[in-house]
Homo-oligomer: A and B are copies of this chain.
């Protein structure tokens, strides 16, 4: 067996997210079907994490095992020939059999784009949240640092996760910023890992603060209590993109454990 890692970029607009779902087009299903054609036998691919329906990636990291040994650049070319143009393999590398794209990930960076102009340019329609309504951006920006640090993010997880008893909803946010660039508000968050809908709910919460539906104190309380006492919207998926997944160098050294 030969393990390969991939950097994948995809436009998630036409997909029901990363994870295989019977009868629905997903990134994982398409990537696996292409790899299976190359190997002429079923192949499973594992990613650093799922992305939701409509969410994009500039550098998702994934890995698979192949029985055949193929030079990485040839594998990349073969995959890009077979993949639809909205999924691209940006890089391929041989990795030790112990490398695991999810377990070994140390940090992930997401970006969320909010378009503030009155008319959303047609070319950005699938890549931004069009929010032309009044918004106190200063207030929203001031609430950004609240989420930095180690917190229980239960109140910001998806509803179906929020009410489960999963022990550990603690995640560490290393940094976060919200910046105006022309007509766009760009939110970037880097952290140890993210719960389902967590980034979209944080963005939604910041917008509620900017709109005046919630205060910074409300958000502080939600982080402390783990319950949502104020309604917050989940920002739509199109504005979100996985920008980067980081690994410790040791992840690429041969080890005893086999992750996949």
Interface residues of A, Cβ cutoff 8 Å to B: 9-11, 56, 76, 80, 85-90, 119-123, 125, 127
Contacts and interface: CB of A to CB of B under 8 A. Distances in A.
B119 A89 contact: yes
Contacts of A85: 120, 122, 125
Contact of A11 (B9, B80, B87, B123): B123
B10 A122 contact: yes
A241 to B, nearest CB: 9
Nearest to A86: B122
A119 B80 contact: yes
A66 to B, nearest CB: 20
Nearest to A73: B118
Contacts of A86: 122, 125
A125 B121 CA distance: 17
Nearest 6 interchain pairs by C-beta: A85-B125, A11-B122, A86-B122, A88-B122, A88-B119, A9-B122
A70 to B, nearest CB: 17
A86 to B, nearest CB: 5
A36 B117 CA distance: 27
A180 B91 CA distance: 23
B120 A88 contact: yes
A122 B80 contact: no
